[in-house]
Each structure stands twice: as structure tokens, then as C-alpha cells.
């Protein structure tokens, strides 16, 4: 269905008071604007279970920054809300469409524009998939560290929007630690550059850091410059099996107390491992309640010594079995299971995904609280975690069509947030606030700080059209 032949339905040409999409379509290359309801449907929401969404007016798929600016300026004239979208892998509802709005999908902006081996940086469009950037950097002997579990599918623009972390952020940091500069279309329709390519620079306010993690509420990112690191050294993998979640949590705290800094320290519980094995038949058998997967990438003897330190922490915390893996294929299979845990659990029913982060020393306590919450509300909670930095992902699983279970799951979701705050934590470590965590954000921040957020948003998006309803009202 072309824009010119749209029927007289709400939001389309011919409907009294509705903006004429044909005007916008004529400003853009053919095929940029999608209005067919069946085609639009897949752009309506991200992966957040039960987060509200509505059918948008249209989906725009620009190929460059000037097209993005044209879309934003048209929306400003007609007061049409704008919802930016990456790959739709988000888990907080941050990319969910709103009624009468336009979803701006960056799926066509997929170019790695430049990799500079001397300055150790890359310049990319926002639609570049995380793993594709990492592969391109590897050809130059360089490495882009941020690696969310969705890295085979999620995009750099989406990673910037939520300040995504990942498996190795315990040692190497999150997306925001690597963003040097941004090109952005503002809420007033201007195309601006923020930041710089130099290794140092403190001129003016740090507007790049302000935009990173803003979930599309302060501007639409059209280009990202990221810093790179040299290729990482070989890794040592340590695996530990534990007969309780709390014991695994104690091992995480012990690693921190020992001063070891693994490049990854991940937790999977029995529910996750069983779901992955049943789905992919990886052959990973473990008669335990939780597994810890650690990687250490220090050079030579120092790396071996740190790996042995992590192993000693596992054993000293009551691991029923622990070892340093000498089989790379086996180690890779274990980490593959970690990345597959979420889609494997989705096969069991709707999954409401948490993303709380607590101080590392409180990980055992928080895991115990999560278990108690599951029992109290009679819901199945599977646990995966970037345990090394306290970022826990309790996954609340319900039976399809069981409305009573959904109500209990949502109550458990809210209680996990409250307990995380009681442990000195935060409501989101990497997935963003979106729609699901707005109440949690209000509970975490003081009223004065909430109003600071609102003031910044009003200043940069005076018409209130950028991803309305997300993050903070």
C-alpha cells in the first residue's frame, strides 16, 4: 500500500484534522515511509512483556541524518510524536510506539563509516549491529568491549540509548565509557555534533554523557564515535557449581574481596540451564542450583594467578565443583548458554524481565530476597546475572493466558525493585527505564532530582514530542 493510496482511516490522509503523510513522503526517497498496517505491526513494540503500546501513524526508515532531520521537522510542524527504534531488542518498553506518532527506525543506517587504528576509534551509524562492529574492529587488531547479551542483534544506537552494559562490563565498562562523540537531531530539528575525537577534552558541559542513556527523549542519534581498545589477550575460564543461589552470591562477593577483577563473572540458575539444554541440546549437565562462569584475561603468569584466585574464591564459598577449564570449546559452550538463556526461557511463556543492580557485597542478600519474593507470590523466577558488578536479571515466567499469574508476576516485579532500592541499589543497570521502570525511577530519585530531569527534557525537547511517556513524565 503506498502513501498516496491510503484509505480514509484515522491518522491517514482524508481523515479530518490528521496530518497529511503524503507531504512527508514526498520529502523522502521512495520506500522510506511505511503505512501498511501489517508491515507497521512489527515496529510497534520492543521485547518488554506487558508494556503498553499503540499503532503509530507510520514508520519511517531514513538512510541518513538529513532524512532524519526532515522527519523531525515535519513532526514538529504537525505536533506528531517521534519514537526512535533500533533493533527492538529492548526490555523496558523504551521503543514502544504511541498512537498518532511516527516510529523512526534506524535499520537502514548500518554503515561503519571509519575505523582509525592510530586514534583507536570507530565512527558508525546507529543501525550497526554490535557484533558487526566488533568484527570490523577485529580486522584492525582492535576491540569494542561493550557486549550486551543481545550483541548478535542489538544495535549501537540502541546500546547508546540505554547505556547498555554486557558480559565484560565488570572489568571494561559500559557503552557510555566508550562514546566519544555523537551526531544528533535535536528536539527543535537541528543537526548538531557533540563531543570530540581527541583522547581528552573538557570544553563545556559533557553533553555526550547526557545523551547516552536518555532513551531517545533528548534527541535522535544519527552517528556515534566510539573509542576502541587493543585486541584482548587470551582468556582463562573458571566454572563453579553451587547448591544454592546464595552460595553463588557469596562466591561473587568473595571474588570482589580478593581484589580479582575478572573480565566476566556471570550467573545462571538451574531453570536457565535446563531451558537452554532443552532447546539447544548443548549437553551441559549440572546437578546444582546455580552456575558461575568467570573469565580472566590477564597476561601470562599474572592471568593464571588471577584465575587461580577466582577458583579459590569459588571453592572457599562452598562450590560443589569448580575448575579452570582447559577446553576452549567447552568454555565457549557455557558462555553460549548464558547468551541463550533469555530466548530459551521465552519459549516457556511470557517473561517479565528485571534489571536491578546492587552493590556487589549485597548480591547474596538480594538473591535471597528474590527467591523469597518468588515463593511469596507463587511465581517462577529464573535468575541470570552479570554478577560481577551486581547487575541481576530475575526473569519472572508465567503460563500463557494465566491472568492471575500475570498479576502476581507484576506484584513480584514491583517488590524486586523495592528490595533492590532497600539494598542500596538502582532500578535499572542497563536496560533503561522505558515504560516499565518509571515508578521505580520516581522511588529512586528525590523530588528535586526528578524535577531536574524534567527541566532538562523541557529544555532539549520543548514540544514534548521525543519518545513521549518514556523514562519520566
Residue-level pLDDT at 17: 59
- Which pLDDT tens digit goes with each residue over 303-343? 999 999 999 999 999 999 999 987 778 788 888 888 889 89
In eight-state DSSP terms, residue 253 is: H
pLDDT digit string (tens) for the chain, length 473 residues: 333 333 333 333 334 456 889 999 999 999 999 999 999 999 999 999 899 999 999 999 999 999 999 999 999 999 999 999 999 999 999 999 999 999 999 999 999 999 999 999 999 999 999 999 999 999 999 999 999 989 999 999 999 999 999 999 999 999 999 999 999 999 999 999 999 999 999 999 999 999 999 999 999 999 999 999 999 888 999 999 999 999 999 999 999 999 999 999 999 999 999 999 889 887 776 689 999 999 999 888 999 999 999 999 999 999 999 999 877 787 888 888 888 898 999 999 999 999 999 999 999 999 999 999 999 999 999 999 999 999 999 999 999 999 999 999 999 999 999 999 999 999 999 999 999 999 999 999 999 999 999 999 999 999 999 999 999 98
CA angle 416, 420, 421 (to 5 degrees): 120
Does the fold of domain 348-458 match that of domain 233-346? yes
Element (H, E) at 418: helix 403-422
Closest CA to 274 of 261, 260, 288, 264: 288
Fold type of domain 112-230 = 3.30.465
Q: Find all residues with CB under 8 Å of 282, minimum gap 6, and list them.
A: 276, 333, 336, 337
What's the predicted TM-score (pTM) here?
0.93
Buried residues in 39-62 as b, exposed as e (16+ CB within 10 A): ebeebbbbbbbebebebbbbbbbb
Dihedral class, residue 278 (left if φ above 0, else alpha if ψ from -120 to 50, else beta):
alpha
DSSP run (H or E) holding 65: helix 65-78
Q: How far is CA 287 from CA 40, 53, 239, 344, 452, in A?
A: 46, 41, 14, 19, 50
Q: What is the rounded distance in angstroms from the CA atom of residue 428 to the CA atom of residue 377?
A: 22
pLDDT of residue 421: 98
> For the structural domain made of 3-105, what CATH number should be given?
3.30.43.10
- As a whole number of angstroms, the distance between CA 267 and CA 387 comes to 6
pLDDT reported for residue 12: 38
The CATH number that domain 348-458 falls under is 3.30.70.2740
Instruction: In whole angstroms, give the CA distance from residue 103 to residue 95.
Output: 8
The residue ranges of every structural domain in the chain are: 3-105, 112-230, 233-346, 348-458
In this prediction, residue 2 carries a pLDDT of: 33
Contact 27, 74 (CB under 8 A): yes
Choose which CATH entry (3.40.50.2000, 3.30.70.2190, 1.10.10.10, 3.40.50.740) describes domain 233-346: 3.30.70.2190
388: which DSSP letter? Answer: G
Q: Report CA Rg, the chain.
A: 23
Read off the pLDDT of residues 339-395 as tens digits, 9 standing for 90 and up.
889 899 999 999 999 999 999 999 999 999 999 999 999 999 999 999 999 999 999
DSSP 324-365: EE--HHHHHHHHHHHHHHHHHHHTTS-EEE--EE--GGGHHH
Question: In terms of C-beta density within 10 A (0-12 exposed, 13-18 middle, 19 or more buried), how is residue 240 classed?
Answer: buried
Dist CA 98 CA 44 (whole Å): 8
Amino acid at each position: 500500500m503506498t502513501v498516496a493510496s491510503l484509505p480514509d482511516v484515522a491518522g491517514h490522509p482524508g481523515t479530518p484534522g490528521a496530518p497529511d503523510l503524503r507531504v512527508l513522503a514526498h520529502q523522502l526517497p521512495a520506500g522510506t515511509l511505511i503505512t501498511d498496517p501489517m508491515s507497521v505491526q512489527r515496529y510497534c513494540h520492543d521485547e518488554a512483556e506487558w508494556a503498553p503500546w499503540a499503532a503509530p501513524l507510520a514508520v519511517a526508515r531514513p538512510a541518513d541524518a538529513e532524512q532524519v532531520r526532515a522527519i523531525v521537522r515535519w513532526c514538529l510542524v504537525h505536533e506528531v510524536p517521534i519514537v526512535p527504534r533500533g533493533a527492538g531488542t529492548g526490555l523496558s518498553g523504551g521503543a514502544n510506539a504511541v498512537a498518532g506518532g511516527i516510529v523512526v527506525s534506524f535499520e537502514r543506517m548500518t554503515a561503519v563509516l571509519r575505523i582509525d587504528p592510530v586514534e583507536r576509534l570507530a565512527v558508525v551509524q546507529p543501525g550497526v549491529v554490535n557484533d558487526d562492529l566488533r568484527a570490523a574492529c577485529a580486522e584492525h587488531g582492535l576491540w569494542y568491549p561493550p557486549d550486551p547479551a543481545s550483541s548478535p542483534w542489538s544495535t549501537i544506537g540502541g546500546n547508546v540509548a540505554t547505556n547498555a552494559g554486557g558480559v565484560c562490563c565488570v572489568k571494561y565498562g559500559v557503552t557510555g565509557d566508550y562514546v566519544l562523540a555523537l551526531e544528533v537531531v535535536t528536539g527543535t530539528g537541528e543537526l548538531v555534533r557533540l563531543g570530540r575525537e581527541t583522547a581528552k577534552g573538557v570544553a563545556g558541559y559533557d553533553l555526550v554523557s547526557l545523551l547516552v542513556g536518555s532513551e531517545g527523549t533528548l534527541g535522535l542519534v544519527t552517528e556515534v564515535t566510539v573509542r576502541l581498545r587493543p585486541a584482548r589477550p587470551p582468556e582463562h575460564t573458571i566454572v563453579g557449581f553451587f547448591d544454592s543461589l546464595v552460595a553463588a552470591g557469596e562466591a561473587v562477593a568473595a571474588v570482589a574481596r580478593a581484589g580479582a577483577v575478572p573480565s566476566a563473572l556471570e550467573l545462571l540458575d538451574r531453570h536457565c540451564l535446563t531451558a537452554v539444554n532443552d532447546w539447544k541440546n548443548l549437553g551441559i549437565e549440572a546437578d546444582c542450583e546455580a552456575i558461575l562462569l568467570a573469565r580472566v584475561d590477564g597476561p601470562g603468569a599474572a592471568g593464571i594467578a588471577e584465575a587461580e584466585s577466582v577458583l579459590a574464591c569459588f571453592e572457599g564459598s562452598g562450590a560443589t565443583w569448580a575448575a579452570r577449564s582447559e577446553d576452549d570449546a567447552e568454555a565457549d559452550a557455557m558462555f553460549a548458554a548464558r547468551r541463550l538463556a533469555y530466548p530459551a526461557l521465552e519459549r516457556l511463556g511470557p517473561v517479565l524481565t528485571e534489571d536491578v543492580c546492587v552493590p556487589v557485597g549485597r548480591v547474596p542478600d538480594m538473591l535471597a530476597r528474590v527467591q523469597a519474593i518468588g515463593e511469596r507470590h507463587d511465581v517462577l523466577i529464573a535468575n541470570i546475572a552479570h554478577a560481577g558488578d551486581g547487575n541481576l536479571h530475575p526473569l519472572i515466567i508465567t503460563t500463557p493466558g494465566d491472568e492471575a499469574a500475570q498479576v502476581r508476576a507484576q506484584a513480584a516485579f514491583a517488590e524486586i525493585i523495592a528490595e533492590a532500592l532497600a539494598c542500596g541499589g538502582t532500578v535499572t543497570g542497563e536496560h533503561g527505564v522505558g515504560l516499565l521502570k518509571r515508578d521505580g525511577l520516581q522511588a529512586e530519585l528525590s523530588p528535586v532530582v526528578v524535577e531536574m530531569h524534567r527541566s532538562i527534557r523541557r529544555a532539549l525537547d520543548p514540544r514534548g514530542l521525543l519518545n513521549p511517556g518514556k523514562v519520566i513524565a
